[in-house]
Structure 1
């Protein structure tokens, strides 16, 4: 009687197919591409977008410094708690989308026009759905934290804050005057939510985001809200006057740079290995600092370049703020030294965290494109606001 061979499980079959895909790729050609990616190549690709986004964050800082004195901001301090969560949410959703599309492009999933259209539209629908839901939840968290820190919950203010948060997250760049239309806006956003859900379920990758992509975004929102609580306490203290203009800059720079690194590591893992198994040269789950920044390889090369860009970029942004006379704080030499040390330490810690978190997500068979960036940018917001508060306190102590 012939012995029937055991059938392979779906997981084992997927692993075998994935290994064959990796083995069938043109390894010599990919090796030449990685070998040809020098520090100059990485720097030339990153520098211009980094500087342009930095100027945008400087302008955002100017705007925050102006509107912090508006009556609504003085009457509703919860807005300062909500601001980092909303800004971080917008950045998280956009950067996770960019990371997913980058991985899809590098693994051949965008070669077909039909596949490209389906993938893009489904992922955009996921972002609309997540922004609406998480924007509403972040407002509830801001109201709760505000009440815990000494405020009172009023129904009208709660409805206005929830509607403002959900609509701002839904329409990122549109400023709405919805004081009298708050219930209608909430109802409209809730009504269109099922539409985004139906569109998002059309693609397998976006369906995966719907199932596993909520936890990182929600936890990141909570972490950013903690940073917002610190910002609320600092920005209303006259001793820390001028902090508002620097907050979007230090938070945005750290988040942008670590998102680039996390996306590059994630794409490298998708190209080189299968979920659950780290490729050769990345076997350590928790690499040391020398392995992250000093060894040879494309990921270490980009980490060095990104860390190098911190000080020149921030010097340019500080100079822009000084020339434009933005903010209410004087940029002295002592403050500049403290600020540069804080920003450099922030990005250093985030780049180290990116290596650890992306490897951990891959080892746990989670997609790093969806899992790692929200956590990293949220911690970047928390570190940025905390370090900035320390800089102002140190300036206050040293300069009297």
Structure 2
């Protein structure tokens, strides 16, 4: 009986072919009932099936067996036949569909990056930042890791949509458990980011200039406030966006990831600054106030984890994502060190770094989410060796290559628009910038090289993780975005070094325009 079950399950199609007529619905349902009856009537092999399934857990994640593939394919067939979500089948997506679906999200993501830079620029001379200069330093790793959490969460929601699970009766409970996991991860990441920032500060400074303990406690408690509020708002917004896209037959992988990244960055920075303005005078009364706030947030972590552990997928994500986020934090910290070192010689490097890092990372994340959803949904054949060739990757006619080529070719026009917008806003409200055409050309070439490498790495990383039985939805996006931060910042620094040979090519700031009331203010850290 077990042998006959495998014979039948091996003939289940790997890619679900959906036709306009639904004549075969009753027949397919009857076939699935028969296959289930075969599975349940296996007699003495039932215990062996349980043993086979239970022995598929490794340190890196859940591996897959042929029995699990067959069962998951049956489940997906049932869910998809109940669903009206036909247009998200990636094999049938045209290049124009991908372009129009990603146009607004990429624009929103880019505008979010521009807004983040402008907000931080204006906040540098505020009283709060002058009193606690480390607040700007903590924003960089905090918003990066918050964006990783949001994009990973959105990628998991997209996979649920492709599998038809958003039509199940218990999908709301599953989403709430994922949100609880997001809150718990946000608490740990906030404290970890503060610890990393102060550890690096302590290593770089002398013993006489160690950062005060009060600032550390204030930043830790303020980060917890900001992260929890931002996580709650962004998670609800992403759930609404993905469910709406699902019901409107739009691929959520095309729109959710870049919007999640920009929303996470903006919400984190705004929450850090707004909450800090009101909370700082209270926190300075006594260090015990900050300690009490941190202890209260840490006390809620077991509650969030208790809710999350009821969902197997959420609990697996909690166990597996820790090392990935740790590695991503190290890479992002390295990017911050490169930026800090480069800004000493080229102050204008900070103007372009958010655009280079965020927009290219968003594009690679979209491609990663698309490939991950396809692999997790259709369980396609192992094509890792074939996809290692970048020429095949960018020139073949399948849906992955068409999407990658489109995203690569549109990266330069998007970046050009964002750079011009940044200069226009800087000319009106901030310190005007002088931009040479040769530097702009070199910048666009740098962006193209970074996008080319990141999109190729998205294919390699996702297929490699899937090949070794690791869920790409949990690990690919944090790795790609952190690599994008380090790669983009390094390439931008090299560009400034090359253009420094000719001084008239380098971007130079004009004197402050005087439009800002605090433009000439001097802080203690300057």
Same fold (TM over 0.5): yes
Q: Deviations over 1:235-277 (max 9, x none)?
A: 3x2x42233332222211011111100000001101221xxxx
Aligned to 1:381: 485
Aligned to 1:121: 176
Aligned to 2:140: 84
CA 115–22 in structure 1, closer or farther in 2 if over 3 Å, else same: closer
Report SS of the residue matched to 1:284: helix
Q: Deviations over 1:44-92 (max 9, x none)?
A: 1001110122112111111222223456656766555533311111111
Higher mean C-alpha deviation, range 213-222 or range 251-260: 213-222
CA 65–245 in structure 1, closer or farther in 2 if over 3 Å, else same: farther
Aligned to 2:238: none
CA 34–209 in structure 1, closer or farther in 2 if over 3 Å, else same: closer
* Structure 2 portions without partners, runs of 5+: 1-43, 57-64, 231-266, 284-288, 505-526
Residue correspondence of structure 1 range 186-201 to structure 2 within 5 A: 186-201=294-309
Question: In structure 1, what is the Cα distance between the partners aligned to 2:146 and 2:419?
Answer: 24
Aligned to 1:288: 389
Aligned to 1:223: 331
How many residues are matched? 388
TM-score scaled by length of structure 2: 0.68
Aligned to 1:14: 68
Measured after TM superposition, the shift of residue 96 of structure 1 is: 0.5
Q: Deviations over 1:97-148 (max 9, x none)?
A: 1100100110111112x32211211111111111110111111111111121
Corresponding residue to 2:190 among 135, 142, 160: 135
RMSD: 2.7
Aligned to 1:212: 320
Report if the CA contact (8 A) 2:387-2:393 is conserved: no
CA 150–328 in structure 1, closer or farther in 2 if over 3 Å, else same: farther
Aligned to 2:219: 161
* Structure 1 portions without partners, runs of 5+: none
Larger radius of gyration: 2
Report SS of the residue matched to 1:247: helix
Report SS of the residue matched to 1:171: helix
Measured after TM superposition, the shift of residue 23 of structure 1 is: 8.0
Aligned to 2:31: none
Aligned to 1:247: 353
Q: Deviations over 1:131-183 (max 9, x none)?
A: 11011111111111112122524322322332233333323322312331432
Residue correspondence of structure 1 range 26-175 to structure 2 within 5 A: 33-70=89-126, 73=129, 78-79=134-135, 81-112=137-168, 114-151=169-206, 152-172=210-230, 173=267, 174=271, 175=274
CA 218–285 in structure 1, closer or farther in 2 if over 3 Å, else same: farther
Q: Deviations over 1:302-337 (max 9, x none)?
A: 101111121110111111112222556422212211
Report if the CA contact (8 A) 1:80-1:229 is conserved: no
CA 383–329 in structure 1, closer or farther in 2 if over 3 Å, else same: farther
Report SS of the residue matched to 2:470: coil
